[in-house]
Amino acid sequence: MTVTLQRDVPVAIVTIDNPPVNATSQSVRAGLMTVLEQIDADAGIKTVILAGAGRTFVAGGDIKEFSAPPVPPHLPDVLNAMEASAKPWIAALNGTALGGGLEMSMTCHMRIATPETQLGLPEVNLGLIPGAGGTVRLPRLIDPTEALTMIASGKPISASHALRLGLIDKMSDDPVQAAKDLASKAVTTRTLQRAVRPVDQTSFDAVKARLHKKARGQISVGAAIRSVERAMTLPAQLALDAERAAFLELKASEQSAALRHVFFAERATLADPRCNGPSRDIASVGVIGGGTMGAGIATAFLRAGYPVHMVEREAGAVGTARKRVQDILEQGRKRGLLAQVQLDSMHNRFRASDRYGDLDEVDLVVEAVFEDIAVKRAVFAQLDEVTKPRAILATNTSYLDVNQIAGAVADPARVIGLHFFSPAHIMKLLEIVTPDKVADDVIATAAKLAKRLGKIGVLAGVCDGFIGNRIMCSYRHEADVLLLEGALPWEVDAAMREYGFAMGIYEMQDMAGLDIAWATRARRAETAPRDDGYVTVADSLCENGWFGRKTDKGWHDYADGQAIPSKDTAKIIAEAREMKGVSPRPLTPDQIMDRILSRLRMEADQVLADGVARQPSDIDVVMINGYGFPRWRGGPFFTAK
Ligand code: NAI
Residue range 161-165: average pLDDT?
97
Q: Considering only CA atoms, which of 41, 52, 54, 49 is closest in space to residue 97?
A: 52
Q: Reduce the DSSP state of residue 310 to 3 states and report it.
A: strand
Q: What is the whole-number distance in angstroms between the Cα of residue 397 and the centre of ligand 1?
A: 9
- Which residue out of 287, 313, 625 has the highest number of ligand 1 atoms within 8 Å of its CB and is therefore the one to mutate? 313
Atom 10 of ligand 1, residue of closest alpha carbon: 289
Q: Name, in order, each residue with C-beta under 8 angstroms of 30's C-beta and a sequence gap of 6 or more.
A: 73
Q: Reduce the DSSP state of residue 129 to 3 states and report it.
A: coil
At 19-50, the pLDDT tens digits run 999 999 999 999 999 999 999 999 999 999 99
What is the reported pLDDT for 336? 80
Where residue 284 falls (left for φ over 0; alpha for ψ -120 to 50; beta otherwise) is beta
Q: What is the whole-number distance in angstroms between the Cα of residue 305 and the centre of ligand 1?
A: 23
What is the C-alpha separation between 359 and 381, in angstroms, rounded?
13
Q: What is the whole-number distance in angstroms between the Cα of residue 291 and the centre of ligand 1?
A: 5
Q: What is the whole-number distance in angstroms between the Cα of residue 285 and the centre of ligand 1?
A: 17
At 90-132, the pLDDT tens digits run 999 999 999 999 999 999 999 999 999 999 999 999 999 999 9
The DSSP secondary structure of 374-394, one letter per residue, reads HHHHHHHHHHHHHS-TT-EEE
Q: Which of 59-68, 230-239, 257-266, 361-370 has the lowest mean pLDDT?
A: 59-68
At 402-419, the pLDDT tens digits run 999 999 999 999 999 999
Atom 28 of ligand 1, residue of closest alpha carbon: 368
Eight-state DSSP code of residue 11: E
Q: What is the separation of C-alpha 323 from the centre of its chain, rounded to a whole number of angstroms?
A: 27
Atom 18 of ligand 1, residue of closest alpha carbon: 313
What is the reported pLDDT for 337? 80
What is the C-alpha separation between 429 and 623, in angstroms, rounded?
10
Average pLDDT, the chain: 95
Residue range 140-153: average pLDDT?
97
What is the reported pLDDT for 110? 94
Strands 308-311 and 285-288: parallel
At 218-243, the pLDDT tens digits run 999 999 999 999 999 999 999 999 99
The DSSP secondary structure of 44-74, one letter per residue, reads T--EEEEEESTT-S-----GGGTTSPP-SSP
Residue range 328-340: average pLDDT?
88
Cα dist. 434→194, 416, 449 in Å? 58, 6, 15
Sequence-separated contacts (24+) of 606-615 with Cβ below 8 Å:
607/463, 607/467, 607/470, 607/471, 610/461, 610/463, 611/461, 612/460, 612/461, 612/462, 612/463, 612/466, 612/467, 612/470, 613/458, 613/459, 613/460, 613/461, 613/467, 614/272, 614/459, 615/268
Q: Supply the residues annotated as catalytic.
A: 103, 123
When pLDDT is cut at 50, 70 and 90, the band that residue 517 belongs to is: confident
The DSSP secondary structure of 599-613, one letter per residue, reads HHHHHHHHHHHTTSB
What is the reported pLDDT for 521? 86
Closest ligand 1 atom to residue 397 Cα is 32
Sequence-separated contacts (24+) of 575-582 with Cβ below 8 Å:
575/540, 576/483, 576/484, 576/535, 576/536, 576/537, 576/540, 577/484, 579/536, 580/484, 582/484, 582/485
What is the C-alpha separation between 124 and 390, in angstroms, rounded?
45
User: What's the whole-model pTM score?
Assistant: 0.92
557 has a pLDDT exceeding 80:
yes
> Which residues surround ligand 1 with Cβ inside 6 Å?
288-294, 311-313, 317, 321, 368-371, 375, 379, 396-398, 420-422, 512
